[in-house]
A and B are shown apart, each in its own frame.
Chain A
Amino acid sequence: MLKILKYSFYDLSRSLWSYVYFFFYLLLGVVLLFLNNDLSNAVITLMNVIIILVPLIGTIFGVMYFYNSREFTELLLAQPVRRSSIFLGQYLGVAISLSASLILGLGLPFIIYGLFQSGAIWDFASLLISGVFLTFIFTAIAFNIALSYENKIKGFGLAILVWLFLAVVYDGLFLLSLVYFQDYPLDKFSLVASMLNPIDLSRILILLKLDISALLGYTGAVFKQFFGTGLGAFTSIAVLILWVIIPVWRIKYISAKKDF
Chain B
Amino acid sequence: MVSITNLHKKFGSLVVLNGLNLQTPENGIIAVLGPNGSGKTTLIKSILGMVIPQKGEIEVNGERVKKHWNYRKNIDYLPQIANFPGNLRVLELIDMIKDLRGKEARDEELIDLFKLEPFLDKKLSNLSGGSKQKVNLVLCFMFDSPLIILDEPTSGLDPVSLIRLRKLIQQEKAKGKTILITSHIMSFVEEISDRIVFLLEGQIYFNGTVEELKTSTGEKDFEHAIANILTENHA
Q: How far is the CA of A11 from the CA of B87 in the complex (A)?
A: 8
Task: Tell me, yes or no, whether B62 is within 8 Å of chain A by CB.
Answer: no
Inter-subunit contact B84/A78 (CB<8 Å): no
| CB neighbours of B87 from chain A (8 A) | 11, 14-15
Q: How far is the CA of A75 from the CA of B84 in the complex (A)?
A: 7
Inter-subunit contact B83/A74 (CB<8 Å): yes
| CB neighbours of B75 from chain A (8 A) | 78
Q: Give a binary string over A47-80; 1 marks a CB under 8 Å from any B CB, 0 the rest.
A: 0000000000000000000000111101111111
Inter-subunit contact A7/B50 (CB<8 Å): no
Q: How far is the CA of A3 from the CA of B69 in the complex (A)?
A: 16
Given contacts A71-B86, A260-B45, contact A78 B72 (CB under 8 A): yes
Inter-subunit contact A80/B72 (CB<8 Å): yes
Task: Tell me, yes or no, whether A154 is within 8 Å of chain B by CB.
Answer: no
The residues in B between 48 and 79 inclusive whose CB is less than 8 angstroms from any CB of A are 48-52, 67, 69-73, 75, 77, 79
Q: How far is the CA of A79 from the CA of B70 in the complex (A)?
A: 9
Given contacts A3-B100, A11-B85, A74-B83, contact A79 B11 (CB under 8 A): no
> Using a Cβ cutoff of 8 Å, how many contacts connect chains A and B?
61
A63 to chain B, nearest CB (A): 17
B224 to chain A, nearest CB (A): 35
Contact of B69 among A69, A70, A82 (CB under 8 A): A82
Task: Tell me, yes or no, whether A81 is within 8 Å of chain B by CB.
Answer: yes
Inter-subunit contact B100/A69 (CB<8 Å): no
Contact of A260 among B51, B71, B84 (CB under 8 A): B51
Task: Tell me, yes or no, whether A183 is within 8 Å of chain B by CB.
Answer: no
Given contacts A11-B85, A74-B83, A78-B50, contact A83 B77 (CB under 8 A): no
Inter-subunit contact B72/A74 (CB<8 Å): no
A172 to chain B, nearest CB (A): 38
Inter-subunit contact B11/A77 (CB<8 Å): no
Contact of B51 among A11, A82, A259 (CB under 8 A): A259
Chain B contributes a number of interface residues (CB within 8 A of A) equal to 26
Task: Tell me, yes or no, whether A257 is within 8 Å of chain B by CB.
Answer: yes
Inter-subunit contact A81/B69 (CB<8 Å): yes
Task: Say what secondary structure dominates the interface of chain A.
Answer: helix
| CB neighbours of B50 from chain A (8 A) | 74, 77-78, 259-260
Inter-subunit contact A71/B85 (CB<8 Å): yes
The residues in A between 125 and 174 inclusive whose CB is less than 8 angstroms from any CB of B are none
Task: Tell me, yes or no, whether B101 is within 8 Å of chain A by CB.
Answer: yes
A213 to chain B, nearest CB (A): 47
B185 to chain A, nearest CB (A): 23
Closest residue to A3 on the B side, CB-wise?
Answer: B100
Task: Tell me, yes or no, whether B99 is within 8 Å of chain A by CB.
Answer: yes
| CB neighbours of B52 from chain A (8 A) | 256-259
Task: Tell me, yes or no, whether B186 is within 8 Å of chain A by CB.
Answer: no
| CB neighbours of B100 from chain A (8 A) | 3, 76, 79-81
Q: Give a binary string over B25-48; 1 marks a CB under 8 Å from any A CB, 0 the rest.
A: 000000000000000000001001
| CB neighbours of A81 from chain B (8 A) | 69, 72, 100
Q: How far is the CA of A196 from the CA of B18 in the complex (A)?
A: 46
B147 to chain A, nearest CB (A): 12
Task: Tell me, yes or no, whether B97 is within 8 Å of chain A by CB.
Answer: yes
Inter-subunit contact A7/B96 (CB<8 Å): yes
| CB neighbours of A256 from chain B (8 A) | 52, 67
| CB neighbours of B83 from chain A (8 A) | 70-71, 74-75
Inter-subunit contact B11/A259 (CB<8 Å): yes
B38 to chain A, nearest CB (A): 17
Q: Give a binary string over A13-49; 1 marks a CB under 8 Å from any B CB, 0 the rest.
A: 0110000000000000000000000000000000000
Residues of A within 8 A of B (CB): 3, 7, 11, 14-15, 69-72, 74-83, 256-260
The 17 listed contacts between A and B (C-beta, < 8 Å) are A3-B99, A7-B96, A11-B87, A71-B83, A71-B84, A71-B86, A75-B83, A75-B85, A78-B50, A78-B75, A79-B100, A80-B71, A257-B52, A258-B52, A259-B51, A260-B50, A260-B51
Task: With A71-B84, A81-B100 given, name 15 new contacts (CB 8 A).
Answer: A7-B96, A71-B85, A71-B86, A74-B50, A75-B83, A77-B50, A78-B48, A79-B100, A80-B70, A80-B71, A80-B72, A80-B100, A83-B69, A259-B11, A260-B50
The 7 closest A-B pairs by CB, nearest first: A80-B73, A71-B83, A80-B72, A72-B85, A78-B77, A259-B51, A260-B50
